[in-house]
Amino acid sequence: MRGKRVDAERKRETRGEDREKAGMKACVTLVTLLVTLLVLCAGGEGARHALLIIADDAGFETEVYNNTAVRTPHLRALARRGVVFRNAFTSVSSCSPSRSTILTGLPQHQNGMYGLHQGVHHFNSFDGVQSLPLLLQHANVRTGIIGKKHVGPSAVYPFDFAYTEENGSVLQVGRNITRIKLLVRKFLQEQREESSGGETPPFFLYVAFHDPHRCGHSQPQYGPFCEKFGNGESGMGRIPDWHPERYTPEQVKVPYFVPDTPAARADLAALYTTVSRLDQGIGLVLQELRDAGFENDTLVMYSSDNGIPFPNGRTNLYDAGVAEPMIISSPEHRERWGQTSDAYVSLLDVTPTLLDWFSVPYPPYSLSGGSPVHLTGRSLLPALSSEPMWDTTYGSQSLHEATMYYPMRSVRRGRFVLLHNLNYRSPFPIDQDLYVSPTFQDLLQRTRAGTPTRWFKTLRQYYYRERWELFDTHLDPAEQNNLASDPQHEAILELLKDQLVKWQWETEDPWVCAPDAVLEDKMEPKCRPLYNEL
């Protein structure tokens, strides 16, 4: 904002020089105008701020998306002050890769975060990536992160204020909503203290809840979704600000991609309880923003990094893995408050949106030494004024855990989605966290025993996929009827294949020639055939 103002002043100055020749009077008028502008600037009016709230593995378990079984009053309140997107998608259904795309605007195959960041494998983005926090820092926007970071290296993702799993307990900074509230308060207080002469500098605060991620793999003592952590029961500790909401297995709404079994229903009920902690945490964060007086200058974005951790969900590029909740609330765009948008938007749009909000340009640079990097996402601010005609999003997944190599690329356009499963001859891999979950264990046991699974697929279908999958999501929202070999859909298949590969070239995808050719990228990059019968 301030950058924009300075530019405007410079332009006015240049124009002023021209006019000097035309007459002194005009010049005096201009100087007066300039002084007025400078005074306005120094007055601190108009500094814009941004708050990005990302939940971990959250889905549509909220009334905002018409799930009436869950109570999430704070998300509902946020939706009343913003636009709800019904077609928001992540490009990748895995934690670190998704967070890297949120914070860079570049798909995982371009920024280098191919898989999860934690542990010995610690996937990282490339050193040269110019991330959102880096660009904002260079533009004198103060940056803060509270909660789950899960990306690296530090030099690519710098934050001025950081309370994350890197220097604390992820349960505390990501699930203890009292702790999160106090950290937000601290950040905003420091922000006020940085004000000089009444001017509050702009800030970007990223609150990355660890809720409602599963827990059974890491802290099983707190229940499958850590739904007992801090509930005041013996050994669980207390989170003073949390009033747990409890649900019975009969109350939950079972999504089409989850087996309707007692085990899965109990699993979903636990998820709902954890969603209540997320929702109340969001309420506390927004209250801190109001109390600190920033409500009317702050863009608030809410979304999640990937789909819910159930079979067909997280780690898949199917709808259940990539469709995300998304609410954007802007104090400067009230005309669409309370409305829903059908525009197709992507988490790759978060970085362009926030750069636009702060009037920070994306710099020219190259990662490959070849063509310059450019963002293929877009600013979503126009959608806050009127409904746009955006109808396309892209997907790109390579790994989740290091052993879970299953590269996929996808394009969604209108009612059609095309998926390219590059390694379709290997079984689809299962992550450790899902494996031990009550829902998946039940599915395995039922499959082995030959009893009805009450699932919409067989495990065999789930593990073994066609190379190309084309679905008509209007007629077939569960994506079960593959049209890729249907002659009637050949035209749309070819169109989407072309569009997908074009995006892969544009985003310098190292997998662009796989699986039936090799990318030779010296001199003129091209695909050289393997004759491997794929």
Q: In the complex, which residues of this chain contact ligand NAG (CB under 6 A)? A: 65-66, 84, 86, 161-163, 167-168, 176, 178-179, 230, 237-239, 290, 293, 295-296, 340
Residue nearest to ligand NAG according to CB distances in the complex: 237
Instruction: Work out what residue 84 binds among Ca ion, ligand NAG, none; the CB cut-off runs from 5 to 8 Å by kind.
Output: ligand NAG
For residue 296, the minimal CB distance to ligand NAG (Å) is 4
The Cα 201–Cα 42 span in angstroms is: 11
CA separation for the pair 62, 272 (Å, rounded): 9
Residue 167 burial class via C-beta count within 10 angstroms: exposed 0-12, middle 13-18, buried 19 and up: exposed
Could you tell me the maximum CA-CA distance found in the chain, to the nearest angstrom? 93
- Give yes or no: 27 in active site: no
Enter the tokens of residue 324: 């995300």
| CB of 487 vs Ca ion, minimal distance in Å | 39
Provide the Cα torsion 37, 39, 42, 47; round to 10°.
-40
| Residue 71 phi, psi (nearest 5) | -105, 110
How far apart are CB 315 and Ca ion at their closest, in Å? 10
Judged by beta carbon distances under 5 to 8 A according to partner kind, the member of ligand NAG, Ca ion, none in contact with residue 340 is: ligand NAG
Q: Hunting for tokens 């765009």 — which residue is that? A: 333
Nearer to ligand NAG, 342 or 490 (CB): 342
Q: In the complex, what is the shortest distance from the CB of residue 217 to ligand NAG, in angstroms, rounded to a whole number?
A: 20
| 23 secondary structure, DSSP code | -
What is the nearest approach in angstroms of ligand NAG to the Cβ of residue 257?
Answer: 18
Write down the catalytic residue from 27, 41, 95, 226.
Answer: 95
Q: Which is nearer to ligand NAG, 13 or 342 (CB)?
A: 342
Nearest to residue 347, comparing CAs of 370, 324, 365?
A: 324
Nearest residue to Ca ion, scored by beta-carbon proximity = 95
The item of ligand NAG, Ca ion, none sharing an interface with residue 56, based on CB under 5 to 8 Å by kind, is: Ca ion
Task: Please state whether 26 falls in left (phi above 0), alpha (psi between -120 and 50) or beta.
Answer: alpha
Number of alpha carbons in the 13 Å side-chain half-sphere of residue 395? 32
Q: What would the two tokens of residue 366 be? A: 């190259």
In degrees, to the nearest 5, what angle opens at C-alpha 427 toward C-alphas 421 and 430? 100
Check: CB of residue 422 under 8 Å from CB of residue 512: no
- Report the candidate in 526, 103, 44, 86 with the shortest Cα–Cα distance to residue 340: 86
Nearer to Ca ion, 57 or 61 (CB): 57
Single-letter residue type at 114: Y
Least distance in angstroms from the C-beta of 308 to Ca ion: 10
Q: How far is the CB of 150 from Ca ion (least distance, A)?
A: 8
Closer residue to ligand NAG, CB minimum distance, 84 or 266: 84
8 A C-beta contact, residue 279 and residue 76: no
Tell me whether residue 301 or residue 492 sits nearer to ligand NAG (CB atom): 301
* 274 touches, from ligand NAG, Ca ion, none (C-beta below 5 to 8 Å by class): none
161, interface contact from Ca ion, ligand NAG, none, CB < 5-8 Å by kind: ligand NAG
Cα distances from 342 to residues 87, 339, 357, in angstroms, run: 6, 10, 22
The CA-based dihedral angle spanning residues 211, 266, 72, 56, taken in that order and rounded to the nearest 10 degrees: 20
Phi first, then psi: give them for residue 296, nearest 5 degrees: -90, 5
DSSP 109-174: HHHS--S--STTT-----TT---HHHHHHHTT-EEEEEE------TTTS--SEEEETTSS-HHHHH
- Pick between residue 234 and residue 296 the one whose CB is nearest to ligand NAG: 296
For residue 521, the minimal CB distance to ligand NAG (Å) is 39
Give the shortest CB-215-to-ligand NAG separation in angstroms. Answer: 13
Is the CB of 241 or the CB of 508 nearer to ligand NAG?
Answer: 241
Strand, helix or coil for residue 375: coil
CA–CA distance, 47 with 424 (Å, rounded to integer): 50
167 vs 488 by CB, closer to ligand NAG? 167
Cβ distance to ligand NAG smaller for residue 15 or 238: 238
Rounded CA-CA distance 394/409 in Å is 8
Looking at the annotation, which residues are catalytic? 95
